[in-house]
Structure 1
Amino acid sequence: MERPIFVVGCPRSGTTLLQLMLHAHPRIAIPPETRFLLPAYYRRAHFGDLRLRANRRALGEWITGTRGHKFPDLGLDTAETVRRIEEAPPTLGSALGTVLREYARRHGKQRWGDKRPAYIQYLPELFRLFPDAQVVHLIRDGRDCVGSLKGMKWWEHDSHHAVVTWANAIDAGHEAARHCPDGSYYALQYEHLVADPAPQLSALCEFLGERYDPAMLHPEAVASVNPRRKKHHARTHKDVDSAAVRAWEERLEPWEVQLCEYVLGDRLRAYGYELTGLGRPPAAVLARYARTRAWRKQAALRRGFRDGWHRIVSDDDLACHLGGSGQDLQPAP
């Protein structure tokens, strides 16, 4: 079966680089971020009974025409994509998978998937849509993720939120490693990937059930598939190197290093990241972090409650049923 592949991780952990490495493989197509999978999942009640062709057409028009979705970045014909969704099996996963499969077909590839760092926080939802998905989790030093996020114009939060985001991503990965079926979850580290890509990519291909191809060592050769407007991805147009490793040493203030190492220390050490030993951050910094973490936790609980209630009152089949993807499989817990 051609299992879908999803690249996940904390934002600014190198997921775009990994997306391009996979896209350089002759059988795999991973598009730039699509931004319609999760909104579709949480709006699924609005689409009605997908056994009705008119509802599938409306869903297709919503996917392809909603502002904020990145469908135009895929280079697909809108009318043809909507028609394909109309003809797909009558499930939400099948409709979403149809778009990703059409992207793969456009590039002459057999396997399809998606890349979005935020998916690491939504793996149960992802597996309900794609029960046989293979998730690839890229992990980077939390201090580097925080340092990079604080420099992004699109990052609307402070460093406290960035620290919580990295911690949540790591914890979600640990949960996935414990509960996902064998062959569904794979983790690798950014620092190892950029230092010696060939063995890391070879091991990844073994997990995916694919033959390693040296073309994966040259993601810059396919970087043009991603939008040029994303200036923060400029490094992906260059040869792979380790220049961004430990960039946090210049990007973070001492109190930010202290916060990262104080609250993330065990997680950082577990992946071999050395700590500076700067000590405990100021009490006001810890208090603000605690408030941020509590707020984020409450938001996740509310989201989970709403989704759980919807699942109780609705027994709709969400799973993708595209010729070998999701057929006769149960969603992962």
Structure 2
Amino acid sequence: MSDRPVFVIGCPRSGTTMLQLMLHSHPHMAVPPETRFLVPAYYRRRAWGDLRIASRRRALAQWIATDRSTKFRELKIDKDEFVQQAVEGPGSLGSVIGTAFRMYADRFDKARWGDKRPSYVKQVDMLLRLFPDAQFVHLIRDGRDCVASLKEMPWYTLDSFHAVSTWAEAIDAGVKLKRTLPEDTYYELRYEDLTDDPATELKKLCHFLEEDFSAAMISPREAASVAVPEHKVWHSNTHGEVIRSRVGSWANRLDDWEVSLCEHMLGDRLESLGYELTGAARPAKEHIIAAQKTMQKRRASRMRKHMRDRFNRLREPSPVAALLTTRQRSLAGVPRQRTEITEPAI
């Protein structure tokens, strides 16, 4: 039985919550609601110091468990027990973070854990540093439907140009991942195929994950009451049966100029993924320029953040990779037992 972590990635509003629930419905996997501590803990890793020292692990674990920004409470695991297990666990950043997810899986007596956050599609390199044995499932949906859905979300405060860029970035990231990652690490499927024939698509996904297919995954309504917080009303559809009613609904939810913009800016990507274009008229010049500028600014921002992280990697305060699973320990070439560094005398 595999104990590799599983990450659900993709463009926001591409059905990743539905897929999260399908995986959570499997008897061997637990995938919690979105948390907010993995990425911040990684980028603030120098602040925690050498995590081979027990007191530093305690400080990080306490921040994860108590800071209001982390949403640790969504895991519904005991804070003190988590801190204790993190202190007693291996001395690496990934190990402390992974302990929280492992304890979540323990709540359901399941062997492996997952995590779902659409933006992870652009952070796979970081996730592999933390969890070198991770598997990634990229759910792809028609970009026009994603743009239409993003516009309607109460938490999405950006414009249609950003929504178009968001989908393009996720697809471009997926193309690179498919080209560079091993076949047992990266898997992609289309939302439309998953909703059209859940059993067939989930059987193929389970084969990738080295798990037996479970029929419970097809109707994950029960999992929604556990793994989708009540305040996230925009995920209300996950509490019902898997349906196709929203497939292609962009035609009634986007303005004509937005359809033209999507097909002009995203057309090659859409067609490469099997989505048909309407042949909409070329968008206005000002809309094309605005979309191009948005993409350029976002690309420059990502590059600056990437360069900062590359610099910080030159002066890591402590090990990053988790040492919790069978393959993680094997990849690191270390035995199960860790060597504790004692607190320096003052």
TM-score normalized by the length of structure 2: 0.94
Report how far residue 315 of structure 1 moved. 7.0
CA contact (8 A) 1:147 1:248 kept: yes
**1-structure distance, mates of 2:316, 2:81:** 30
**Which amino acid in 1 is paired with 2:10?**
G
Q: For this pair of structures, how many residues does the alignment match? A: 330
User: Post-superposition shift, 1:325?
Assistant: 4.6
- C-alpha change, 1:38 and 1:327, in structure 2 (3 Å) is same
Alpha-carbon contact 2:52-2:318 (below 8 Å) kept: no
Distance 2:78 2:317 in 1: 33
The DSSP-based 3-state class of the residue aligned with 1:99 is: helix
Question: Could you give the per-residue CA deviations for residues 198-249 of structure 1, whole angstroms, max 9, x where no partner exists?
Answer: 0000000000000001000111121111201100000000011101101111
User: What SS does the corresponding residue of 2:329 show, helix, strand or coil?
Assistant: coil
Secondary structure at the aligned position of 2:136 is classed as: strand
Superposed counterparts of 1:293-304, under 5 Å = 293-304=295-306
1:98 corresponding residue in structure 2: 99
Find out whether 1:264 has 2:266 as its counterpart. yes
Could you say which residue in structure 2 is the equivalent of 1:31? 32
Code of the aligned partner of 1:102: M
Q: Does 1:202 align with 2:203?
A: yes
| Paired residues of 1:4 and 1:325 also in contact (CA < 8 A) | no
Q: Return the index of the structure with the highest Cα Rg.
A: 2
Give CA-to-partner distance per residue, 1:23-79, whole Å, 9 cap, x none: 000000001101211111100000001011111010001111112212111111111
Secondary structure, counterpart of 2:283 in structure 1: coil
Q: What is the aligned-residue identity percentage?
A: 51
Q: C-alpha distance in 2, partners of 1:93/1:290?
A: 37
Structure 2 Cα separation of the partners of residues 175 and 317 of structure 1: 27
2:130 and 2:151 map into 1 onto residues whose CA distance is: 33
- After superposition, the Cα gap between the structure-2 partners of 1:27 and 1:142, relative to the gap in structure 1 and judged at 3 Å, is same
Is the 1:218–1:240 contact (alpha carbons within 8 Å) kept by the matching residues of 2?
yes
Question: For residues 146-165 of structure 1, what are the structure 2 equivalents within 5 Å?
Answer: 146-165=147-166
Q: What is the identity, as a one-letter code, of the residue corresponding to 2:36?
A: R
Q: Mind listing any 5+ residue stretches in structure 1 that lack a counterpart?
A: none
Distance 2:294 2:65 in 1: 35
More deviation in 308-317 or 264-273? Answer: 308-317
Gap change, CA 1:243 and 1:201, over 3 Å in 2: same
Q: Confirm or deny that 1:252 pairs with 2:251.
A: no
Amino acid at match of 1:227: P
Offset from partner CA, 1:64-107 (integer Å, 9 cap, x none): 11122121111111111111111110000011110000000001
Query: Residue 328 of structure 1: CA displacement?
Result: 3.1
Q: Which amino acid counterpart does residue 58 of structure 2 have in structure 1?
A: R
Correspondence for 1:167: 168
Q: Distance in 2 between matches of 1:205 and 1:259?
A: 37
Amino acid at match of 1:317: P
**Cα distance in 2 for residues equivalent to 1:98 and 1:150:** 36
Report deviation, 1:314. Answer: 2.7
How many Å separate the matches in 1 of 2:290 and 2:312? 33
Structure-2 separation of matches of 1:242 and 1:68:
35
Within 1, Cα distance between the matches of 2:172 and 2:22?
25
Post-superposition offset of 1:316: 3.5
Report the secondary structure of 1:278's partner residue.
Answer: coil
Partner of 2:336: none
- Aligned amino acid, residue 66 of structure 1: D
Does the residue aligned with 2:138 lie in a helix, a strand or coil? strand
SS in 2 for 1:287: helix
Partner SS, residue 6 of structure 1: strand
Q: How does 1:281-292 map to 2 (within 5 A)?
A: 281-292=283-294
Q: Is the 8 A contact 1:97 1:320 kept in 2?
A: yes
Supply the distance in 2 between the matched residues of 1:45 and 1:315 (Cα, whole angstroms): 6
